[in-house]
Structure 1
Amino acid sequence: MIPQDLLKQIDFIKEIDKIKYIQRQTKLFNRDRRENDAEHSWHLAMMAIVLSEHSDREIDLLKVIKMVLIQDIVEIDAGDTLLYAQNKSHENTAEEKKGAERIFGMLPEKQAEKFMQIWTEFETGNSNEAKFAKSMDRLEPLLQNTSNDGGTWKEFGVKYQTVYAKKKVIKNGSTELWNYAETLIEDSVKKGILEK
């Protein structure tokens, strides 16, 4: 007889395959194709591994990796919201919480609780791990937009002040990465791919 917990886990694994079909607004590096959430999550995990030495504080790298892999699963239900959207909050939406409860709730109870804790910790953004994970989440699209001559900034008419304010979260996890990001933002203005 197959254990019920295993069946629940397999159902969850099948369900999260849908993340591959969630299209983000940001495009791949130097490309016209939009990135999907699975690609984004994988890239953030790799960035966390490669850039972890630049964290301002000691972090549990495995926990950061879990955060960046889990945090966008809720978009299976809630969809991707553009960071710069004027008509909808990008942070802590009711739709995302409802999606987290449904999707993580497919898992065995203890595992579901752990996933929910990790997701909530990322969303709250107070722990060292969450601060660094959010740095990765904000840095990756910045790198993409600078590689795509302004990408979504141009497409949606996003101005310097908005980009600067949204990207400043990077500083909470890494001063060094923020200094780099700030240079990229300023250079984007000089190059004419970000309007001041």
Structure 2
Amino acid sequence: MLDTKSSYAIEQQLHFLREIDQLKSVIRKSPLIDQSRRENSAEHSWHLAMYAFILKDRSDKEINIDRVIKMLLIHDIVEIDAGDHPIHETTDNSAQEEAEQQAAERIFGLLPTSQGEELKALWYEFEAAESNDAVFAKSLDRLQPLIHNVATEGGTWVEGKVTHEQVEQRYGSVISGGLRRFGRW
């Protein structure tokens, strides 16, 4: 195991932290609720971490909130290389998955090995959405843009001509899979 206190490890960690600053430049389709501009992926990740912290008691399963917050803080880091691909846009899913896996290897590979492997494993766990922590994290990743779209009178749904049925299909089961029902969801 690499000593994360060595000067080389600190250089790797600082390089990673400088690299992920690029997430602030990945612009998402979703507008801020005040509609002054579109949010960036770093803001989205931070907001989701806050959703997890505030809504942790809404999970219908036992979760480790520290792991959930870590997942949410790193889940979109791959967008630095692979770009953001909104749920309502058609894309070649296999090509996108490959691009994201390559991005995960490169970006998490900037860290000392043990740290990079830990974060990469969390990222893969989030993507698979099979553990309680990942299911809860994924539900929040669908809930936040849904709330933004409702608050902005349809926001990206109007732009993308998304139907009510498509909203139900793309958001409903993922959200209800990790959150106890509240409000309309």
Q: Smaller-chain TM-score range? A: over 0.9
TM-score by length of 2: 0.92
2:131 is the alignment partner of 1:130: no
The equivalent residue for 1:194 is: none
2:78 matched to which residue of 1?
Answer: 74
Measure, in 2, the Cα distance between the counterparts of 1:114 and 1:155. Answer: 38
Alignment of 1:83-98 (within 5 A): 83-89=87-93, 93-98=97-102
Match of 2:9 in 1: 5
Cα distance between partner residues in 1 of 2:68 and 2:32: 23
| Matched residue, 1:139 | 143
Q: Which 4+ runs in 1 deviate beyond 6 A?
A: none
In 2, Cα distance between the equivalents of 1:181 and 1:38? 28
Matched ranges for 1:166-177 at <5 A? 166-167=170-171, 168-177=173-182
- 1:31 match: 35
**Is 2:158 the partner of 1:154?**
yes
**Partner Cα separation in structure 2 for residue 63 and residue 91 of structure 1:** 28
- Counterpart residue identity of residue 126, structure 2: F
Q: RMSD of the alignment, in Å?
A: 1.6
Aligned residues with identical type, % of pairs: 45
After TM superposition, give the deviation of residue 159 of structure 1 in Å. Answer: 1.1
Deviations 1:27-56 (A, max 9, x none): 111314100011101100001000000100
C-alpha distance in structure 2 between counterparts of 1:160 and 1:98, whole Å = 35
CA contact (8 A) 1:92 1:123 kept: no
Alpha-carbon shift at residue 92 of structure 1 (Å): 6.6
- C-alpha distance in 2, partners of 1:84/1:121? 23
Gaps of 5+ in 1: 183-196
Which whole-Å deviations, capped at 9, do the CAs of 1:46-81 have from their partners, x for residues lacking one?
Answer: 010000001001110000000000000000000000
**CA 86–92 in structure 1, closer or farther in 2 if over 3 Å, else same:** closer
Give the TM-score, by structure 1 length.
0.87
> What is the distance in 1 between the residues matched to 2:184 and 2:23?
28
- Distance in 2, Cα, partners of 1:90 & 1:175: 32
Higher relative contact order (Cα pairs below 8 Å, separated by 6+ residues): 2
The alpha-carbon distance between structure 1 residues 122 and 163, as it changes in their structure 2 partners (threshold 3 A), is: same
Alpha-carbon offset, residue 88 of structure 1: 3.6
Q: 2:18 aligns with which of 6, 9, 14?
A: 14
Shifted more, 27-36 versus 136-145: the winner is 27-36
Partner of 2:3: none
CA contact (8 A) 2:16 2:111 kept: yes
